[in-house]
Structure 1
Amino acid sequence: MAEKKTMQNIIAIDLLRALAALGVFTYHMHVGALLAKYSGVHLIAYMDALGAFYAVPLFFLISGYCIHASNIKYIKANIALPLKEYYLRRFLRIYPPYLFALLFALGINYIASGTYKPSMVDFVVHLFSLQGFTVPYFNSINVVLWTISIELAFYAIYPLFYYVRFKYNLNYALLFSLIVSCISIAYFQINGSINIAERFCVFNLWFAWCCGAFLSDKKMLSQGDLKQPVYMVFYFVVLVVFAGLKYFPNSFFIVSDQISILLWSAPMMFIISKEDWLRQHKDTWVIKIAAAIGLSSYSLYLLHEPLIYLKNFAAHKYLPASLQFPGLIAGIFIIPVITWYSFQFIEKPFISRKKPVEQAA
């Protein structure tokens, strides 16, 4: 009997999450720059570009794919999205680990010397995950937490995409998201002087996020459609626009952010298409480790920055000079282990057990 697959155990999704989380982690550790410095191979420094520019876009595309895929059962049953259950499930999946990470980061900020001491206003803004909509607190306590504001906003407005998909069809839903994003981008581009919160406004990025939802719908309900030439043409256009925008880096960066998400669409679908092969080789150590990192990628993403602060602080304060460098290197490998246990004890208890559709109407 074939092993049942859910969005919580698709190996390809775990590997993609691992790639994104490790990209951000190694970037904040400056691993590429350090390897280039000590090896003399300067090209290695470019590996930091994954975490700097492309890891968060990958997370956003995966998010759109997985959120819609988890609700495909309602599309199949031809019933409306149960909003109460949906919002409760999203809240429990995201907020408890986020709150733990926020409190942990605050503790490290006060313990580790030389780090930012947040105000009460800063704390309250982060408590309600509003930092992504502000300029002063955008990345004040923990540089990565702004993305959680955007993710929560994506979750909040996803039912609009689902409603159009349910009442009309998938193409209309995607077109609706495109119109919303075009209006939002045009508004900010015309006004000019775009600040960081305006740049990453959820409506600017919504079309690209919904492309993840679109792909999951096609993959699970009309997989053969993805072989049509129109999708190859669309991705070719994405590549051309991506290359073209490199010549205008300061003029169309809102569009560039959207393209950075869409750039992952073909690689993501290619890796997902290899799920059967991955399951056949799931016991190999590389896939097992990568999949474990993928499972705990949310904890790794949330906690790695304060853990890096703590590692550096502890190594310089408590280790003799001769052991500081080895201690710092060891910390690179210890942090993913710590975040794995965070996943087990902080995240996992809140991961919802999905009810059958018959009970969820």
Structure 2
Amino acid sequence: MPDNRLETRKSFPMQRKIHFLDGLRGIAAFYVMAGHARWLLWEGFNEGYLKNGHLYSSVDKLCMYFLSLFKWGHEFVLFFFVLSGFVIHLGYAKKLTADPEVKISIKEYLYKRIKRIYPPFLFAIFLTALLDFIGSKYGFSIYSGDTPYSSINKQIGNTSHSISTLFGNILFLFPEYVPRFGTNGPTWSLKFEWWFYILYIPFLFMSRKNIYLSTGLVVLLFVVSFFPGIWPVAILQTIFSSMLCWWFGVLIAEVVAGRLKIPLLYLTGAFLVGFVGLFLFKSRLDIADLRTAFFFSALLSFFLWYNNKEYSLRLLERLKPLGDFSYTLYIIHFPILVFLSGIILKINNNYLPRHSWYVFAGMVVCIVIAYLCYFLVEVPFMKPLKSGSEARKKKDVSAVGS
């Protein structure tokens, strides 16, 4: 997922730096990738281990149980949502704390979001199309939905690569108006992120004066999303069914910036109450997602409180390098794993192995490729665009120095 670093490192630093956020983002991206590697490069629990468990060695069983810790990938995507809402809003919340009438440039905001989202995303589309084409050309069964694994066939097979699908995906109109492009399933969350960014604009101006009013409206729209038949635009119903999860990060930013006078530890407790309380409601996906968002919001609030108390989060800070390329890792790992799975199925009589060594190898391949691609599709777009006057001033200073 996009890391939005440019939004936080402005002229309103926190009392303590929050570099541990990069570590959290890296952990979340790694977790999602590991879960997908487990799913695509191993025969699976229901369709493999339950049938062939007696053939597993002790080491294979140990690896199987260890990798089962990575089966909650969807939940960790919601962690991305909470982190994103926090990081996007923190800079603006601090500006509004210092000056409620501060000018907010929508043009600058959209420029940064487009520059951050699109280069890795367009590269991921190209990579997906390339690997899907090669895999299909060589008859890999995973691309035609002809594997013995129903879960893989359902999620991977029968993909679309048409021009209309391509442009619909670039505009984040899938799957309501066009199918998903190719085999890159995790792009679903990027679609949500993009629409969160767009819808954040009116809510930001609304929250300038009253964060409670904007929060109440987000809650109301979440409730109304339970009734899809009344929405004239289907994609908005889908987005508002999850935007409250993202908005939790906004509320945490309001507390950190001082606009909401709530101690972080109290906020942590409030989120935990929400997490526990939602177990009383009917188990439907949007409620389950909200419950997960409550949990991760509590976790983030606690970490921020812990960080401000001069305690050490050094372990998370040391994972900053992983967080730096976490967006590229997240957005390109899936088509790579699908391609690797196709190769393994091809050479193994259309079956995935019982051992998990390919899972670990696939994770290493994804990390290496993502790290290298990061310098191609992220780093060049992180540098701020200098105006002509700034460039001339820098040139004049250089001339004097020489």
Q: Which bin holds the TM-score, normalised by the shorter protein?
A: 0.7 to 0.9
Deviation at 1:287, TM superposition (A): 4.9
Corresponding residue SS for 2:184 = coil
Deviation at 1:236, TM superposition (A): 1.0
Q: Indicate the residue corresponding to 1:205 in structure 2.
A: 242
Distance 1:182 1:117 in 2: 33
Q: Structure 1 residues 267, 35: CA separation in 2 closer, same or farther (over 3 Å shift)?
A: farther
Q: Indicate the residue corresponding to 2:367 in structure 1.
A: 336
Deviation at 1:54, TM superposition (A): 0.7
Q: Share of identical aligned residues, percent?
A: 20
Q: Return the match for 1:21 from 16, 29, 48.
A: 29
Two-structure CA RMSD over aligned residues (Å) = 3.7
Assess if the C-alpha contact under 8 Å between 2:90 and 2:254 holds in 1: yes
Assess if the C-alpha contact under 8 Å between 1:96 and 1:347 holds in 2: yes
Q: Indicate the residue corresponding to 1:124 in structure 2.
A: 167
Q: Return the match for 1:310 from 323, 339, 344.
A: 339
Q: Structure 1 residues 44, 317: CA separation in 2 closer, same or farther (over 3 Å shift)?
A: closer
Distance 1:199 1:43 in 2: 39
Q: Indicate the residue corresponding to 2:220 in structure 1.
A: 179
Distance 2:267 2:327 in 1: 34
Deviation at 1:16, TM superposition (A): 1.7
Bigger relative contact order, structure 1 or 2 (CA pairs below 8 A, ≥6 apart): 2
Distance 1:33 1:261 in 2: 29
Q: Indicate the residue corresponding to 1:108 in structure 2.
A: 131
Paired residue total: 332
Distance 2:110 2:370 in 1: 25
Assess if the C-alpha contact under 8 Å between 1:65 and 1:212 holds in 2: yes
Q: Indicate the residue corresponding to 2:305 in structure 1.
A: 273
Q: Structure 1 residues 317, 90: CA separation in 2 closer, same or farther (over 3 Å shift)?
A: same
Gaps of 5+ in 1: none
Which letter maps to 2:80?
F
Deviation at 1:344, TM superposition (A): 2.2
Assess if the C-alpha contact under 8 Å between 1:154 and 1:206 holds in 2: yes
- CA offsets per residue over residues 41-99 of structure 1, 9 Å max, x none? 87546413321x31111111111111101323431333242111111110110011100
TM-score scaled by length of structure 1: 0.78
Q: Structure 1 residues 210, 287: CA separation in 2 closer, same or farther (over 3 Å shift)?
A: closer
Gaps of 5+ in 2: 1-5, 10-16, 50-59, 144-158, 349-354, 391-402
1:294 aligns with 2:323: yes
Q: Return the match for 1:47 from 65, 69, 75.
A: 69
Bigger Cα Rg: 2
Which letter maps to 1:98?
F
Distance 2:337 2:372 in 1: 17
Corresponding residue SS for 2:275 = helix
Distance 1:278 1:331 in 2: 38
Distance 1:18 1:148 in 2: 16
Q: Return the match for 1:165 from 201, 207, 215.
A: 207
Assess if the C-alpha contact under 8 Å between 1:7 and 1:70 holds in 2: yes
TM-score scaled by length of structure 2: 0.71
Q: Structure 1 residues 198, 222: CA separation in 2 closer, same or farther (over 3 Å shift)?
A: closer
Q: Structure 1 residues 144, 68: CA separation in 2 closer, same or farther (over 3 Å shift)?
A: same
Q: Indicate the residue corresponding to 1:94 in structure 2.
A: 117
- CA offsets per residue over residues 195-239 of structure 1, 9 Å max, x none? xx8798111122221121111121122586234757624531322
Assess if the C-alpha contact under 8 Å between 1:64 and 1:212 holds in 2: yes
Range moving further from structure 2, 121-130 or 92-101: 121-130
Q: Return the match for 1:62 from 67, 83, 90.
A: 83
Range moving further from structure 2, 16-25 or 217-226: 217-226
